[in-house]
Amino acid sequence: MSVVLPSDIRGLVFDLDGTLVDSYAAIGESLNHARHCFDLAPLSDVEVRRTVGRGLESLIADSLGADNVAEGVRLFRERYAEVFAGATHLLPGVAEALASLDKRDLPMTVASNKPARFGRAIVESLGIGHHFADVLGPDIVGSTKPEPTMIRRCLELMGVAPHQALYVGDMVLDVESGRQADVHVALVEGGSSTREQLLATGEPVFASLAELLPALAPGG
């Protein structure tokens, strides 16, 4: 049975990592650099993927310990600045999907727990920056998702009401984020949460961003 999203969608807010881009290699390299500096064993790709999503401070606290957050963040960002551009790529079909949404005159923004200075650099370097009214992060709004401030700021930028907005993410955390901001939520596979975890939220789940497009009404 096909999924049909609400017909009054007038703007879209996207998560970044795991939704539009795959940056897990850069995150893993940077996190393991910080762990190495603390004489800790490297984490596997799977372990890294399952740990990210709640912001860098949370990631470092979980991976290096709460007492090492400040230095761990410094070490992570030091390495991430060196490797992120070459170790981040678009997920399959994203460029085409965004171009299709542009033709529908739907305003789009990005709300990421990655600092905006990195998020903006990533979308520009990958050739999709022109699709978005802005790319926001916790360094801009002062808080991380699931706190709703970032998504609400995106709605202001697009000039749409919460009931007219669709937030697209890849994690269970994104469901909490969208619900706190009172927007519709859709999920795509391939990020930090498994398909089973996504389905358990009760929100619509799509295999890719391209598969989400037919569920949007032609006018929305």
Region of poorest pLDDT, from 50-54, 74-78, 167-171, 174-178: 50-54
As its CATH architecture, domain 24-83 has Orthogonal Bundle (1.10)
Strand order in the sheet with 11-14: 135-136, 108-111, 11-14, 165-169, 184-188, 205-206
Confidence grade of residue 55 (pLDDT, cut at 50, 70, 90): confident
- At 104 the three-state DSSP class reads coil
What is the reported pLDDT for 220? 56
Distances (CA, A) of 28 to 19, 39, 48, 80, 167: 17, 16, 6, 9, 26
Q: Which CATH entry fits the domain spanning 11-21+89-215: 3.40.50.1000, 3.40.50.720, 3.20.20.105, 1.10.8.10?
A: 3.40.50.1000
Q: What is the DSSP letter of 133?
A: S
Q: 8-19 burial by CB neighbour count: b if 16+ within 10 A, else e?
A: ebbbbbbbbbbb
Per-residue pLDDT for 81 more than 80? yes
What is the reported pLDDT for 58? 87
Domain residue extents for the chain: 11-21+89-215, 24-83
pTM given for the model:
0.90
- At 188 the three-state DSSP class reads strand
